[in-house]
Amino acid sequence: MRTLTVGAVLALAALLVPDSAVKSTEVELVKVNRAETVDVSPDVVWILAVGSDARPGEDMTHTRGDALQLVGMNTKTGAATAIGIPRDSWVSIPGHGTNKINAALYFGGPQLLGQAVGNLVGVQPDYVFISRFEFFEDMIGDIGGIDVNNPIAFADDFIKPKGFKKGRLHLGGYDALAFARIRHDLIRGDFDRSANQQRVLRGIQSTVRAKADQPGFIERGVFSVIQHMHTDLSPVELYRLGQAVAQVNPGKITNCVVQGSIGDMGGASVVLPYVDQARRYGDDARKDATIKRC
Amino acid sequence: MRQRTRHGSWVIAAVVVVGLATGGCNNSNDGGPGAASTATSSASAAQVVTTASVGELAGRLPQARRDQLVSEVRQVVDGWIDAAYLSGDYPRTDFAGSWPGFTARAQAKAERDGDLMSNRDIGASIDGVESEKRQVTLDVLSIDKQPVGVTARVVLRFATTGDTVKDVRVAGRLYLTKGKQGWQVFGYDVSKVDL
């Protein structure tokens, strides 16, 4: 498993391309045959996307992950899937007994976190991407914001007092981060928040795909990522990954969140994840990055 | 081959792609002598030569290196254009080897997309091809003054003769990185339209 710290690849899901109204007197439509592909090895790339709650000055590779999404991307078919992991999931952490899964980042850095998530789902990530809040906000701003479909209104007295309305929303950097972080007002807490994180990922990928046509968009994006991260990947590998993200087909994206029961461990509220379900997701998506049903 | 005609928005998007590629020819942000450098392609004397230039550049790249890059990538693109569309004895049914500058996987996929990524769809019913426009614009990612990734925006227009007479435009993007074998196409997003 390779490890790097970056934000821009929190982007492997998508929204449907919006329908366009066409006036026949103004636009001529022609039938267009189109083909596309990206050669990235392996065919199915697994990336653990981590949102770190590191504050300025903290080493974000040794804090606690605030958002955990295991993302698979099939570069042959354009399919992608995101498996959301509640951050409070109580699991075995190799060499450190049992603890909340996001503590693995604190104990052993990205490698150990990747291992812990990989053991839960049964799919080991090829890459671990970690982003901190500031860069995440900047990245959303750089791409001009994102659109999400919000199924239910919610708010947070501190982060977003005015809240988010139900429906289709356009979010800038701060709002996208708030949308992905808030959980207290959500009926199902961490599970709903994980689903919201997947909505943000969809929005990012959708924007990236839509703007990939713009001359130099991918090149500027990858350049920005390289400027802001530490990585053992070569620029060539990053460039190929960036192009692969843009090739994900919005119609071939599936998202699921690992469910669980709420427990108490030494006074701390934790999620006892349904391991069988997590493994089923992993087994289902391992070879083709597609989950048939949640 | 996939045909993206399920949503009107896709068609619009494709038209926009073509528009961007066409309009991008003057979009060089360097304005230097690397822009609009030209060379004769390997096609016959009657064929149009390829114009190639740097479009958008992320990072820094010295002018001499830009010129070299344009030349190297143009050769790869020309290799594909000639082998897949313009060269060969028509009527023609054999399009194997039409993607000489592609990675093995990209080559295999292009072969499956052969009706778009070559003239396999019309090769048997034409007796000649004449190019009308060949244009390549490079969007470049450069790290430490070395080019590491390129999107080549390609526009090719040609006319066919024989049983099938028509003008065809091939346009889209090729994605290239440099390996031991030089610049190679590892991905593409290409459309082919009858004009």
Nearest to A168 by CA among A155, A153, A157, A180: A153
| Residue among B17, B177, B180, B193 with most chain A CBs within 10 A, to mutate | B177
pLDDT above 50 (res A249): yes
What pLDDT score was predicted for residue B18?
Answer: 28
Confidence of residue A230 (pLDDT cuts 50, 70, 90): low
The least confident of A168-182, A270-284, B43-57 is B43-57
Q: Which residues of B touch A218 (CB under 8 A)?
A: 139, 141, 151
B-chain CB neighbours of A23 within 8 Å are none
Share of chain A above pLDDT 70, in %: 84
Q: Within 13 Å and on the Cβ side, how many CA atoms surround A265?
A: 12
Interval B81-106 mean pLDDT = 94
A16 has a pLDDT exceeding 80: no
* Token pair for A229: 């991260």
Instruction: State the smallest CA–CA distance between residue B95 and chain A in angstroms.
Output: 17
Interface contact flag, A36 B190, Cβ < 8 Å: yes
- pLDDT beyond 50 at A262: yes
Amino acid letter, B118: S
Fold classified for B8-194? Nuclear Transport Factor 2; Chain: A, (3.10.450)
> Which residues in chain B are closer than 8 Å to A22, comparing Cβ atoms?
8, 12
Output A65 or B10, whichever has higher pLDDT.
A65
A215·B24 Cβ contact <8 A: yes
Q: Nearest to residue A287, comparing CAs of A73, A11, A127, A9?
A: A73
- Catalogue all structural domains in chain A, each as residue range(s) with its CATH number: 2-12+38-285 (3.40.630.190)
Please give the Cα distance from A81 to A86 (Å, whole number). 16
B58 pLDDT higher than 50: yes
pLDDT at B104 over 80: yes
Please state, in angstroms and rounded to a whole number, the distance separating the CA atoms of residues A187 and A196. 12
Calpha distance B88→B85 (Å, rounded): 8
Q: At what angle do helices A217-227 and A189-211 cross, to 10 degrees?
A: 130
From residue A98, how far is each of A111, A272, B100 by CA, in Å? 17, 11, 54
Q: Identify the residue with better confidence: A71 or A29.
A: A71
Residue A73: is its pLDDT beyond 80?
A: yes
Please answer yes or no on whether B27 and A33 come within 8 Å at the CB atom.
Answer: no
3-state DSSP call for residue A176? helix
pLDDT at B36 over 60: no
Using the predicted structure, report yes or no on whether residue B60 has a pLDDT greater than 60: yes
Domain map of chain B by residue range? 8-194
Q: Please give the residue that has the higher pLDDT: either A133 or A283.
A: A283
Chain B positions in Cβ-Cβ contact with residue A31 (cut-off 8 Å): 5, 11, 193
For the segment A31-72, what is each residue's pLDDT rounded down to a tens digit? 345 566 666 667 898 988 888 877 777 777 777 778 899 999
Report which of residues A64 and A123 the model is more confident about: A123
